Structure 1
Amino acid sequence: MVMGHLRIRVMAHCNNDNHGKTMPTSSPENSSDNLADRLGGIVGTRHVLTDEASRAHYSRDLGYLPACDSELVVQPGTIDELRAVVGCVTGAGRSVIPRGGGMSYTGGYTPGSHRAVCIDTGRLDRIVEVNSDDRYVVVEAGCTWQALNEALKPGGLRTPFWGPFSGKYATVGGTLSQNAVSYGSGLYGTAADSVLGLQVVLADGRLVTTGAGAHSAASPFFRHFGPDMTGLFTADTGAFGIKATAVLKLIARPQVVRSYSYAFEHLDNVLDAQIEIARLQVASDCYCFDPYNNADFERKGVTFEQRLSIAGTTARRGLRGVWEATKMAMAGKKVLRGVKYSLHLTLPGHSPGVVTEHARLVDELCRKHGGIAITNTIPVAHQAGAFENLRLVMMGPDGDIWLPTHGIFPASRLPEAVRAFDMLADQARPDLDQHGIRTAYTIVTTGQEFLFEPFLYWHDEPGSVRLERIEPEFAEQWRDIPSDPARREMALSFREQIRDLFDQLGGLHLQLGRFYPYVSVIADPGLKDTVTAIKQALDPEGLMNPGSLELP
């Protein structure tokens, strides 16, 4: 089918292909009640949420950006239902707002109008196919990374990028729409780098298949079937369509995983070490903490259940695991006390000898740059407690709000970016201190590039999205923290300054949503026109997540 100048394979949506149901016809004049009834006929009335609390909850993310409450929330359970819902909603003149696990902090799924329907993809959580011979897995977009990882474990497999830190809640579709780095990124890059193909529902309900799965006689084993149409729909923040399924690469799960930590006195030294380790391509995870991050770690609570889980997972690795668990227990949370800069690494491999040699190379590099080996509590817990300790990242030790801003930089520009941020923070320190706002940052290796992510912490109302993602005892303790508009305004203003600074330095962004610029920072007029034309071809009425990517 030809859409403007874009030729893609689509499946036309038929009125009678929704499990025998007739797809409802709608018009912009339909009332909210009538639209809810039609959607209830597709997904069942209990999967159409109309109450004020639900509409507000599903319309908010972690970023405090302005947003409207959606008119309705719909939870399709099959791809056919998803297609029918999208066609029904846009046919009624409402915009479609796709939502995954709700972990966005850049307005990725926050409506800009009340005439919007939030589509919660959480029920689309099936693992469709695990092909161990051809090394791919087909998974529905609402499946969480934790669920996918657990399902692949018995077969000794995993995806190269195997989830963001929030993978207990973050969905595959949401992550691919936003793009992310975390587990596995040191060797395998971003989430989008692990994708082979997609099925995407367009604004009118049609289904697009990308990658080799679109070939008339092929399986979805290869991404580059002609032009890279898969890439078009990754990191689009849902502006071009809603992910229905994803085909991800599979690799053998490493037989040996060891973790190491080093302390550094000076920023230049830890950056030099991290950059050189990235060039070795031996660490699946490598990240640096600044002094404020190190100091905060000791103050963050860890529940008894989390301690048991981490220690048990570590000890199950045999005698070495028992020794690591013992060291962790002895060190506790004091491991970073007095440490200025810390560097944490995970080295995977398929034999002890390979990992031992890689560890020797890393140790030589760190010591060359003044690093001192310290107890490896942080990276061991990061691996053993994967996806389980979200509160330790998304909230401060006293229930403070955590809000990050990031830029991705090449090695040659990373030191400049860190120093520029330090200078900006020092200049703003009197105002930040007056409002009780603290700063910290981490630097994460992603392939040969580096994600530099400063955090802001301040005391403010946590909101329902945060509270439902943390342990009940902490949620109960922090539920009544009052709103503080003055602090929030100051924090959000400084966050915008960080974003603008990174843009001036040539930093790039993941999770663009409605916070980071895209169209406005494209210097090439031809690319800007092309992006606009693609949006017009796929979504001529501007009803698919309007406002994301700075597109209608």
Structure 2
Amino acid sequence: MRPDGILESLSAAVGPEGLITDPAECDFYAQDVYSKGPPPLAVIRPADKEALARAVGAATAAGVAIIPRGGGMSYTGGYVAPKAGALIVDLGRMNRVLDINPTDMTATVEAGCTWEDLRLALKPHRLRALAWGTLSGIKATVGGGMSQNGVFWGARDGVVVDGALRFEVVLANGRIVSTGSDFFRPFGPDITGLFAADTGAFGIKATVTLQLVREGAAFAYGSYAFDTADGFFKAMSGVAREGLASESFGFDPFLQAQRMKRESLAKDAKSLVNMMKAQGSAWKALKEGAKVVAAGRSFLDDAGFSLHLICEGRNEPAVAADLAEIERIVADAGGRVVENSIPKILRANPFPPVNSMVGPAGERWVPVHGFLPHSRLLEGWNRIQALFEANAAEMERLGVGAGAMLAAVSRSACLIEPVFFWPDNLEELHRRSIEPDHLAKLEQFPANEESRALVAHLRGGLIETFRGLGATHLQIARTYPLQEALDSSAWAILRTLKDAVDPDNLMNPGSLGL
């Protein structure tokens, strides 16, 4: 079929308002946070699952590859097509909360619903999703999270795909498949699980049904400083093994310094007001607000590593007891108490603007990550530092900085997420995502191919380092080597499943290495 013929078919499927062919606008949709894809044929923005199914069926019948795009916050090539002429699918118009069932503790949303919109819809019911999104949840979508996987809020309860009960998935042939029960998973082999964390390689999620849990009625917050990585990991792992914190995250000295260069938390009036409201009583609100103002940005000046924890429970005595046990673990690991502004404000404003997708002066930013068992965290950290030390001269010459976010994600594992900053030009995705008043304050760097190449080299080295440690990953997409990490027979099963649901390899080809 000629290109104009397939475009007519797509317009008929999604309506003229759901089809984008302008080259500049298509270029925007082909960019992720780290890289740019080749020019797509077009972008479709269907209004419902039926239109999505019609468009996918029409495209694949014409031999056009399908590239599903979530909220645009990926940095692992999740929607970066391997070659020009693909059809990018954006579900931003499919953003409704379809059902909230407080009796059965479930919610169903269209895949383009953001984590923030879901949170706001559930808040009047005092409910939230089991694992309820990443820090980019003001932009990131539920469907994108279920495809790429993610972790942060609700990490004690698992990664985001653990909260999925059922998907409606559009397959490459345009057929809509429901993966199972809307109140229990699994019923027999876990069909929902087959499509979870598939990075869109098996199909496009149209709707998602999630488990809900009751929001906590009481909270306690703790922040702690450590002089050594050994003490930090000992404390974070000890807290995680006991399940004492709903969220547990921290920063190494470099990333901590980068965060504290950003606009003062105390000057963010919205954050401060929301944090005060979240404290329950007017007196407590005033008291906690005064602490944040007094602390400003200086409370971590003398800290090496910092650890921030949130305890969530049914009543104040319960969370106070958890925090007391945390402080015993921290003291045993050589940590000390510092002002707890960071966890308080983050919990009150869980999905802030995504201004941190660039550095504090406007530098480019990209992470890479690995999940390791508690027993290998320090070894992993030391290997990462050795890689940076071996490249220190080049990093200094080219202005490349690296720090790390660290987080507990279960009783068995923690996340190490090195983050790179380097002087380079911003893309349209950055300019549209960052708040305009914040963007106006940033330095505009010229394109910097040499620094960008060094970051690519270092990211590759970190991925090899993580592979050598037996790490696992989220957001596999086109960045992390899945086949090398799997048993050969397990990979053969995955390959067979791909052939069954996408025999012509037109559904996000190359993602997962398939």
Normalising to structure 2: TM-score of the pair? 0.97
Corresponding residue number in structure 2 for 1:26:
none
Amino acid at match of 1:50: T
Distance in structure 2 (CA, Å) of the matches to 1:520 and 1:266 = 33
Corresponding residue number in structure 1 for 2:408:
445
Corresponding residue number in structure 2 for 1:266:
228
Contact 1:188–1:447 (8 Å) recurs in 2:
yes
Corresponding residue number in structure 2 for 1:25:
none
Whether 1:403 aligns to 2:366 is yes
The one-character-per-residue Cα deviations of 1:132-173 (angstroms, maximum 9, x if unpaired) are 111111111000000000000001110121110000000000
Amino acid at match of 1:481: F
Corresponding residue number in structure 2 for 1:188:
157
Contact 1:83–1:205 (8 Å) recurs in 2:
yes
Stretch of structure 1 that moved more, 272-281 or 475-484: 475-484
Distance in structure 1 (CA, Å) of the matches to 2:144 and 2:264 = 28
Whether 1:67 aligns to 2:37 is yes
Contact 1:137–1:248 (8 Å) recurs in 2:
yes
Distance in structure 1 (CA, Å) of the matches to 2:347 and 2:319 = 16
Distance in structure 2 (CA, Å) of the matches to 1:411 and 1:518 = 22
Contact 2:169–2:176 (8 Å) recurs in 1:
yes
Whether 1:32 aligns to 2:3 is yes
Distance in structure 1 (CA, Å) of the matches to 2:423 and 2:144 = 28
Distance in structure 1 (CA, Å) of the matches to 2:276 and 2:134 = 24
Q: CA deviation at 1:390?
A: 2.2
Contact 1:179–1:192 (8 Å) recurs in 2:
yes
Matches within 5 A, 1:7-46: 30-46=1-17
The one-character-per-residue Cα deviations of 1:35-63 (angstroms, maximum 9, x if unpaired) are 22221122221221111111111111012
Matches within 5 A, 1:163-242: 163-185=133-155, 187-212=156-181, 220-242=182-204
Distance in structure 1 (CA, Å) of the matches to 2:443 and 2:97 = 35
Amino acid at match of 1:177: S
Contact 1:270–1:371 (8 Å) recurs in 2:
yes
Corresponding residue number in structure 1 for 2:462:
498
The one-character-per-residue Cα deviations of 1:47-85 (angstroms, maximum 9, x if unpaired) are 211111111111110122x62111100000101001001
Q: CA deviation at 1:520?
A: 3.2
Corresponding residue number in structure 2 for 1:358:
322
Contact 1:196–1:222 (8 Å) recurs in 2:
yes
Q: CA deviation at 1:485?
A: 0.7
Structure 1 unaligned regions, length at least 5: 1-29, 213-219
Q: CA deviation at 1:480?
A: 4.0
Corresponding residue number in structure 1 for 2:270:
309
Corresponding residue number in structure 2 for 1:139:
109
Corresponding residue number in structure 2 for 1:285:
247
Corresponding residue number in structure 2 for 1:482:
446
Amino acid at match of 2:511: S
Equivalenced residues, count: 510
Match of 1:428 among 381, 391, 408: 391
Q: CA deviation at 1:303?
A: 8.4
Q: Percent identity?
A: 35
The one-character-per-residue Cα deviations of 1:493-513 (angstroms, maximum 9, x if unpaired) are 111111111111111110001
Corresponding residue number in structure 2 for 1:295:
257
Corresponding residue number in structure 2 for 1:535:
498
Amino acid at match of 1:548: S
Q: CA deviation at 1:355?
A: 0.5
Whether 1:247 aligns to 2:209 is yes
Contact 2:368–2:419 (8 Å) recurs in 1:
yes
Corresponding residue number in structure 1 for 2:94:
124
Amino acid at match of 1:309: K
Distance in structure 1 (CA, Å) of the matches to 2:396 and 2:84 = 37
Distance in structure 2 (CA, Å) of the matches to 1:84 and 1:476 = 42
Distance in structure 1 (CA, Å) of the matches to 2:227 and 2:141 = 38
Whether 1:276 aligns to 2:238 is yes
Corresponding residue number in structure 1 for 2:355:
391
Contact 2:164–2:211 (8 Å) recurs in 1:
yes
Amino acid at match of 1:516: Y
Corresponding residue number in structure 2 for 1:157:
127
Amino acid at match of 1:435: L
Normalising to structure 1: TM-score of the pair? 0.90
Contact 2:362–2:443 (8 Å) recurs in 1:
no
Distance in structure 2 (CA, Å) of the matches to 1:286 and 1:513 = 26
Whether 1:377 aligns to 2:360 is no
Q: CA deviation at 1:385?
A: 1.9
Contact 1:468–1:475 (8 Å) recurs in 2:
no
SS in structure 1 at match of 2:198: coil
Amino acid at match of 2:488: P
Match of 2:508 among 545, 548, 552: 545
SS in structure 1 at match of 2:440: helix
Amino acid at match of 1:196: L
Whether 1:512 aligns to 2:483 is no
Corresponding residue number in structure 2 for 1:81:
51
Contact 1:462–1:479 (8 Å) recurs in 2:
no
SS in structure 2 at match of 1:408: strand
SS in structure 2 at match of 1:250: strand
Distance in structure 2 (CA, Å) of the matches to 1:129 and 1:411 = 39
SS in structure 2 at match of 1:181: coil
Contact 1:467–1:479 (8 Å) recurs in 2:
no
Contact 2:131–2:159 (8 Å) recurs in 1:
yes
Distance in structure 1 (CA, Å) of the matches to 2:124 and 2:323 = 28
Q: CA deviation at 1:302?
A: 4.8
SS in structure 1 at match of 2:391: helix
